[in-house]
Structure 1
Amino acid sequence: MIREKRVTLNGQQSTAVHSRKNPILIFYFLFFTFLSCNSPYTPKPTGYFKIDFPEKKYQEFNKPGYPYTFEYPVYANVIKDSTFFDSSTENPWWVNVDFPQFNARIYLSYKIIGQYKLDSLLNDAYNLTNKHSIKASFIDDSIMHISGNVHGTFFKVEGDVATADQFFLTDSTKNFIRGALYFNATPNQDSLRPVNNFLVEDMKHLVNTFRWK
């Protein structure tokens, strides 16, 4: 409520304005201010960039002198692996399947049974996978039987680990190969999941088309 009061100053009239605030309005103002300051905070979920995936098309890797063949995506490159932790590879048949668009790589390391015992190669494959058990929520292994005397195990490791998908293939008599998918990035299961799922399909296609020569 506003009212005017006329007063005389030095023989001149002036108007003084007085304001009387409504106590009910003050109460509601303070009440809603209190509620707004104490309302629960809900953080926004972490967002990630949308990724455009290429169409799946495959080509054959079948170079002379290699003891195996397989199919790999047209958006990947097969590169000979000449070093292993700054040392030379033990034979010339180690290769990497590079995915430049996704900053990822499938390492393929080949071993000759005879130079190594099969039991030793199998134990190494399981031990290398189990090294991730500290950060893994669980590890799932699936037995695989593929035509052409190709069989092995596919490992799925859940959690923020360096490589979530690995496998080994063998004919149990002469040939043994191990594969592992790595990303050149800090392990983060949530951010890498879409790309990892996309590339695992290519990894499984590689396995299903793998043949010994």
Structure 2
Amino acid sequence: MKNNMRISVASLFVALVFIGCQQTTYTPKPRGFFKVDFPERAYIEARTGCPFYIEIPAYSILGKDPSQNTQDCWKNLDFPQFNARLHLSYYRISASAPFDYLTEDARTFVFKHTSKATSIDQKRIQDPHRQIYGVEYAIRGNTASNYQFYISDSTTHYLRGALYFNEKPHLDSIQPVLDFLKEDIRHIISTIRWK
């Protein structure tokens, strides 16, 4: 009987090993990101209906900001291929919206990202010939917005921009697209003309 029991246990063990070896095991794959195909750069002049002209990428869509409490010259520049949006907010500098208040407001918006940012780089924008002065902010880290700017003639016109991706912030995955769009935004800045 003991012999039969040993044979039964051994047979059961061999059967379990055989069944266990037949099952496919799951091997986790490393995380990866999709390859992004960038369009060829091309720009068109956009009639904004506001006191400025800009050249925008041909693969973007300029529209009015549909949010509540927006002003007439608040625009959204959508990049559908990249699931990104550049919010553009134009203000006429006045007693109710002085230049110092507007620039400090832009700075405040940028530094709200401090808790998630690894660094915030500032670069001055100056083109006296076109009356363009401002600051460009490159916000590094997994923040909601990684690129913002404001430009002005410092007396009448003021334009602020903030780039957002409609994705959970993950800088590693958006970095190539962010670099691509930063060049487009710099082109927009370099072509702006005040009316």
Larger radius of gyration: 1
Q: For residue 132 of structure 1, what is the amino acid of its counterpart? A: H
| Aligned length, in residue pairs | 166
Q: Are 2:90 and 1:110 aligned?
A: yes
Shift of 1:117: 1.4
Q: Do the aligned residues in 2 keep the contact of 1:70 with 1:210 (CA within 8 Å)?
A: yes
Taking every aligned residue pair, what percent have the same amino acid on both sides? 44
Match of 1:201 in 2: 183
Q: Are 2:103 and 1:122 aligned?
A: yes
Superposition pairs of residues 8-23 of structure 1, within 5 angstroms? none
Measure, in 1, the Cα distance between the counterparts of 2:69 and 2:117: 31
Shift of 1:45: 4.8
Q: For residue 44 of structure 2, what is the amino acid of its counterpart? A: Q
Q: Do the aligned residues in 2 keep the contact of 1:80 with 1:93 (CA within 8 Å)?
A: yes
RMSD: 1.4
Shift of 1:148: 1.4
**1:48 alignment partner, SS class:** coil
Q: Deviations over 1:173-213 (max 9, x none)?
A: 11111001100000000001111111111111111111111
More strand by share: 1
Match of 1:54 in 2: 39
Match of 1:183 in 2: 165
Q: Do the aligned residues in 2 keep the contact of 1:72 with 1:202 (CA within 8 Å)?
A: yes
Q: For residue 205 of structure 1, what is the amino acid of its counterpart? A: H
Moved more, 52-61 or 146-155: 146-155
Match of 2:58 in 1: 74
Pairing partner for 2:79 from 92, 99, 112: 99
Measure, in 2, the Cα distance between the counterparts of 1:193 and 1:45: 19
More helix by share: 2
Measure, in 2, the Cα distance between the counterparts of 1:82 and 1:50: 32
Q: For residue 181 of structure 1, what is the amino acid of its counterpart? A: L
Match of 2:118 in 1: 137
Shift of 1:66: 1.4
Shift of 1:82: 3.4
Q: Deviations over 1:42-96 (max 9, x none)?
A: x965311111111000001124x4100111111001011132xxx221x311111
Q: 4+ residue runs of structure 1 moved beyond 3 angstroms?
A: none
Measure, in 2, the Cα distance between the counterparts of 1:45 and 1:144: 41
Q: Which has the higher contact order (CA 8 A, sep 6+)?
A: 2
